[in-house]
Structure 1
Amino acid sequence: MSVPETTTLSTLERGLAVLEYICEHGPANAKRIARDLGLRQGTCYHILRTLAVSGHVARQPDGQYEPGPHAYWVARQIQKRVAVVPELSVILARLHNVTGGETSYITRWQDGAAILQHYLAGTQATNVGKLEVGFGGDLHARASSKAIIALLPGDQVEALFKGVKLAQLTSATITDYEELLVELAQIRRQGYAMDREEFAEGVQCVASGFVSPDGTPAGAYTVSVPTIRFAKLKPTLVAAVVEAAAMATRFLAGKRPVDAVTAGRHHPGQP
């Protein structure tokens, strides 16, 4: 990985890259960090000194650097923002299990963003690029966000998308507003959403949204699998995410989530 040295706020960019490197690969010394990030050694030492003063990294007696106390504080604050209610985590674990260990996600709807809160990687983990905990973008291309947005009133959907350029992430990405509205209408009818390689090539997803007691969308459960296996598994995956969403809706309404397992197939917005 090489870090550009001549970009807007390049010093900040390089500092963040060094911090991320230490968090992922540390402990590491300055020479190794500079080499792997493509930085001048003097620049790297200057960044490390700054990070050490702020408490984001800590220098060990052997000259290696590890995350410092302030880095752990930042991590705790982030974790608080994406923390999942234990009962919803149990539903996620069930979804993971009933799909045979496929990669399963829970997403939260917050302030107009579908934020990935947590996921359980499958035994045949799928590579979905930039999709990591905390990601909340590309609402038009993700099964989870489409499942959630389909539960919004029409005026809110219009406010989110009308006149907004929809990024072409793959050849299958929906980039036309009217086409997206048709897709959302279908999602509302069937109770689940699909991502047919719209977010990342080679990966397909199915998701179902769950709602708060007042009927507003609260989040979604999603499962992703490689395209080569999706067609065969689709019926099982659809049933599993719809069940998970129904369980979450019942829990948020103050009812026993397990009742949804034996109550038959539910639309995610139903109690």
Structure 2
Amino acid sequence: MTRTKGKRGATQEVNTIQSVERAIKILEYLCRGSSSLSELSRELGLHKSTAFGLLQTLAKHNYVHQEINTGRYRLGYRVLALGGAFLEHCDLREIVSPYLQQLLDEHGETVHLVIMDDGQVVYVDKIDSPQSIRMVSRIGRRLPAHCTGVGKAILAYLPEEKVQAIVKKRGLPRFTANTITTWEELCAELARIRDEGVSYDREEIEDGLRCVAAPIIGYGQYPVGAISVSGPASRMTEEKMSNIAGSLKMVVKEISRQIGAGVEPNASPHLDIKIRS
């Protein structure tokens, strides 16, 4: 039996089945790579006979596969089927929408949700600031990645070879005096973003416009999108952007948790989460 917190903070008792919890732990452990029975039982604190029985049950239903030559265990193809079914019915905008409203209510500036497509960022959802002077944008708009807060937030968590391919195809064109235009500058900026978990656009694509953004990290620690809060430089002071950054990091952490970032295998292909029109 597991104790959890209810909506009002009261402790509630939740009935759980120990064998199911252990099976889930095995699947999550195998997300890191293949494992022998001894390694798995030791790392998870399970008796070998218990671990073996659970592995055999999972293997029977193709959630686990045992390699013939080595005897090691790895995830089976049925796990991919479950992930595919989730992604088929996952609407990122539906998940993110209440968080966009939360950010707007808290900071009063225009908020966006973007994804990356063919090396550019695409705006797929937004809520406009109620203030008369605000960022002008539209859903479906495409912008370069290297000079936008959302674009840099996504680039920072892509494999380096993919970033190189995007830069080779799209280049690093200048839009303002603050635009990053060299590979060395971009690499330094992406390293800073990975270190801080948040990206800034300080009038890099348009004079007078500032933005704070953070990536949404999905399964396999792959960036599936980004959220930004944008506004005129006159209101987006360094202090305000710092406050927004704190809010954004908490928001994307929760969204990332919901879409599966809690599992961290060594590598994962790009998983396209649907954006329904």
Deviation at 1:228, TM superposition (A): 1.8
Structure 2 alignment gaps of length 5 or more: 1-90, 263-277
Confirm whether residue 212 of structure 1 aligns to residue 218 of structure 2.
yes
Query: Residue 232 of structure 1: CA displacement?
Result: 3.0
- Which one-letter code corresponds to 1:160 in the other structure? I
- Matched with 1:135 is 141
**CA RMSD, aligned part only?**
2.1
| SS state at 1:214 partner | helix
CA contact (8 A) 2:214 2:252 kept: yes
1:106 aligns with 2:113: yes
The residue identity in structure 2 corresponding to 1:148 is I
With over 3 angstroms needed to count, the CA separation of the structure-2 counterparts of 1:84 and 1:164, relative to structure 1, is: closer
Matched letter for residue 201 of structure 1:
D
Q: 1:219 to 1:125 in 2, by over 3 A?
A: farther
Q: Check 1:102–1:159 CA distance in 2 against 1; reply closer, same or farther (3 A cut).
A: same
Displacement of 1:92 in angstroms is 1.2
2:251 alignment partner AA: A
Instruction: Give the CA deviation at 1:164.
Output: 5.1
1:124 lines up with 2:134 in the alignment: no
Larger RCO (CA under 8 A, 6+ residues apart)? 2
| Stretches of structure 1 lacking an aligned partner (at least 5 in a row) | 1-82, 256-271
Name the CA shift for 1:147/1:105 in 2 (closer, same or farther; >3 Å).
same
Find 2:244's aligned residue among 237, 242, 245: 237
**Which residues of 2 match residues 170-209 of structure 1 at below 5 A?**
170-209=176-215
Aligned residue pair count: 171
Q: TM-score, normalised by structure 2?
A: 0.57
Paired with 2:125 and 2:218, the residues of 1 have a C-alpha distance of: 19
Q: TM-score, normalised by structure 1?
A: 0.58
- Aligned-pair identity (%): 29
Cα pair distance change 1:197/1:126, threshold 3 Å? farther
User: 2:132, 2:194 → 1: CA distance?
Assistant: 29
- Mapped to 1, the partners of 2:230 and 2:125 lie a distance apart of 14
> Quick one: which amino acid aligns to residue 260 of structure 2?
A
1:93 and 2:94 are equivalent in the alignment: no
8 Å Cα contact 1:173/1:198 also seen in 2: yes
